[in-house]
Amino acid sequence: MMFDKENQVVSISKKRIFLFLVFLCIFAAFVLSKFALTAWGYQGGSSVSDMITERGPILDRNGRVLAVQTMRYNLCVTLASVSDPEELKNLIAPVVEMTPEEIQKIFDSASPVFTYIKKDLNQEQADSLKKIIEDNNISGVKLEPVQGRIYPEKSMAAHVIGFLGKDGKGLEGMEFQFNDILSPDLLSGKRMSYGDQLFLTIDANLQFSLEKLVQESMDKTKADGAMLLVVSAKTGEILAYVSNPSFDLNNYGKASVLQRINLPAVYAYEPGSVFKVFSVASLLELGGIVDESSFKCTGVFEQTAPNGETFRIRCYNGAAHGIVHPREILQYSCNVGLSQASMTVGSKEFYDKLRELGFGSQTGIELGGETNGIFRPVSKWSLRSKPTIAFGQEISVSALQMVSAATSLANKGNRLQLTLVSKIQDHEGNIISKHTPKVVSKPFSKDTVNKVLSYMETTGLKGSGWRALVGDVPMGVKTGTAQMTDIETGKYSEEDITSSCMALFPVDDPEIILYSVVIKAKGDTLGSHIAAPLIKNAANVVIDYLAMERESALSVTHQGVISLPESQTLEMEDKVPDFTGMSKRALASLLGNKAYKIQIYGEGYVYKQNPPAGTAVTEGMEIELYLQ
């Protein structure tokens, strides 16, 4: 018997190839089947897709609901299972607000296994589609539930709260930064899964009032943009965060690029004379100047570089202030006096001190896209850089960096970490984490802080900050007017101005930091004329709202009758409406109806209901509404 080794090898190779191909086909079939099942939300048994999930709400510091879950739907199709695509597109087109031709284009490029027709449909659209599918016995079409959001306060604090994408995941603001905390844990093994509750430091009542003031300022000055920040000086908590222009979170897709810009976090600008507060404090701390130091202002500061190049720095309108001390430098906002004072310390020392204050780096607040600003290292400075930086040019900052630095003036030299998060709770109200003040650096001594606050008080009483004063609460103030760079010429513009004002009060032991910025106002652009009055109006609101002590409290008489607007009558017809975001007062009209029973749990605004919206109303049914 002969042994053909060569034929045996060929035979074995063919068998191996055949077995490999069989295995590959089985594996491919398995993967495709899993994909199809997953696409249709089925994985068998008690799967993730069977779980009831609820995204945690976002609330203000007092528990007022700012973002609450609702259900949205994606319409998807398996074309291979649709018997009459022509009929389908004509039936669903009006409901999904598309033309049959637009749907046909989707069909033409669609996978036969799984394709989305329209995402982010509301409950009413979903109900209509369900009826069409049932009445016409259509197969291959499914409504995929997706977590959505209702923002009861619409545009309030929009840049802080953020919003969800069509896939139910956060895209901006707190919705993005805390997506994993707000979203339920789908791997928990529980059938009902809840996200945690996020409490902001924002006070919604204060936010509403101050947004209105900023809008009035925008209307009056015809500015391109404006910012207003209110910070609790002893904690670093931001009580109000206003960025204008803004947008309605419920319709974020219609917002322009400019409306969605989070100005306090991402907009970098030259701060102008408000920055002098930190320069003077730094020079005092470094020992370059003392309270009694004197400088002569002739209206111009001039120096010549080794290469013979001369530069000049002038005071506003060429004013000559004569002999000035550190107090008068801030009072008169004297560029010349501060330029001379800046030469008393080394460039590296000055740079390092300003870096301690947080300039040139992000504040670390809980927001995405935060700017570092522009603060070049000393190696890239020119001869004029140090004096120019000292009065707020040749450096770019964010509004958040400015109030972060200001916390050091309110806490005996300790700079605090800014925050927008008050606490995080689970759905049962158990506290998971709570904000406590955190010191991030100590740039100044108590003695330096006391001097600078005293100088700022003088600036308010006798200098350019008088329009920011409320009269019966002592305030430390500094205003600023900074020319913006013309992009085309690379030089400072005569028309485009950043106007600003900062105030701390009560000045002897500050509890509140206020900072306003008005961008590209038309007409009068002086910070003392347009940003300072905004601070005054805001300070009055804050002081009264927080019941801060005034030196002369007013007594007001009232007839004893308060007129309240009539509450809107809410009616329930054939289907249970979506109650999410409604106040307890708005639900009052339903309570007397004997055809059904309403059970209300908690206070505030509806964040959960049972049965869900769209359920048919039946005689004697019980509806549970949960408020927070």
Tell me the C-alpha distance between 72 and 148, whole Å.
5
Omega within 30 of 0 (cis) for the link into 611: yes
Tell me the C-alpha distance between 423 and 235, whole Å.
13
Three-state helix/strand/coil letters over 438-499: CEEECCCCHHHHHHHHHHHHHHHHHCHHHHHCCCCCCCEEEEEEEEEECCCCCCEEEEEEEE
- Residues with Cβ within 8 Å of 167's Cβ and at least 6 positions away in sequence, in order, are 146
pTM tops 0.85: no
> In this predicted structure, what is the pLDDT of residue 20?
56
Q: How confident is the model at residue 406 (pLDDT cuts 50, 70, 90)?
A: very high
Encoded tokens for 376: 């070049």
Q: Which position has the higher pLDDT, 7 or 168?
A: 168
Is the pLDDT confidence value at 99 over 90? yes
Summarize pLDDT for 176-220 with one digit per residue, the tens: 999 999 998 655 556 668 899 999 999 999 999 999 999 999 999
> In this predicted structure, what is the pLDDT of residue 81?
85
Tell me the C-alpha distance between 173 and 158, whole Å.
8
Any idea which of 53-57, 280-284, 529-533 has the lowest mean pLDDT?
Answer: 53-57
Inter-residue contact 373 to 270 (CB < 8 Å): no
Encoded tokens for 361: 């780096």
- Residues with Cβ within 8 Å of 303's Cβ and at least 6 positions away in sequence, in order, are 310, 311, 383, 384
Q: How confident is the model at residue 548 (pLDDT cuts 50, 70, 90)?
A: very high
> In this predicted structure, what is the pLDDT of residue 627?
73
Tell me the C-alpha distance between 444 and 256, whole Å.
42
Tell me the C-alpha distance between 498 and 110, whole Å.
52
Give me the helix-helix angle, 399-410 and 446-462, nearest 10°.
110
Mean of pLDDT values over 424-451: 96
Mean of pLDDT values over 519-541: 96
> In this predicted structure, what is the pLDDT of residue 192?
65
Summarize pLDDT for 326-383 with one digit per residue, the tens: 999 999 999 999 999 999 999 999 999 999 999 999 999 999 999 999 999 999 999 9
Query: What's 500's DSSP letter?
Result: E
Tell me the C-alpha distance between 435 and 234, whole Å.
12
Mean pLDDT, the chain, rounded, equals 86
Tell me the C-alpha distance between 334 and 341, whole Å.
11
Q: Which position has the higher pLDDT, 622 or 256?
A: 256
Q: Which residue has the tokens 């004379």?
A: 273
Centre a 10 Å sphere on the Cβ of residue 583 and count the other Cβ atoms it contains.
Answer: 16
Mean of pLDDT values over 75-92: 88
Most confident of 112-116, 324-328, 565-569: 324-328
Instruction: Please report, to the nearest 10 degrees, the dihedral formed by the alpha carbons of residues 521, 526, 530, 536 taken in order.
Output: 150
Most confident of 182-191, 241-250, 307-316: 241-250
Is the pLDDT confidence value at 23 over 80? no
Three-state helix/strand/coil letters over 166-207: CCCCECCHHHHHCHHHHCCCCCCCCCEEECCEEEECCCHHHH
Q: How confident is the model at residue 89 (pLDDT cuts 50, 70, 90)?
A: confident
> In this predicted structure, what is the pLDDT of residue 79?
84
From the centroid of its chain, how far is CA 477?
26
Mean of pLDDT values over 504-521: 97
Q: How confident is the model at residue 51 (pLDDT cuts 50, 70, 90)?
A: low
> In this predicted structure, what is the pLDDT of residue 558?
41
Specify burial of residue 593 (Cβ count, 10 A radius: 0-12, 13-18, 19+). Answer: exposed
Centre a 10 Å sphere on the Cβ of residue 11 and count the other Cβ atoms it contains.
Answer: 11
Mean of pLDDT values over 241-253: 95
Is the pLDDT confidence value at 143 over 70? yes
Q: How confident is the model at residue 13 (pLDDT cuts 50, 70, 90)?
A: low
Q: How confident is the model at residue 10 (pLDDT cuts 50, 70, 90)?
A: very low
> In this predicted structure, what is the pLDDT of residue 515?
98
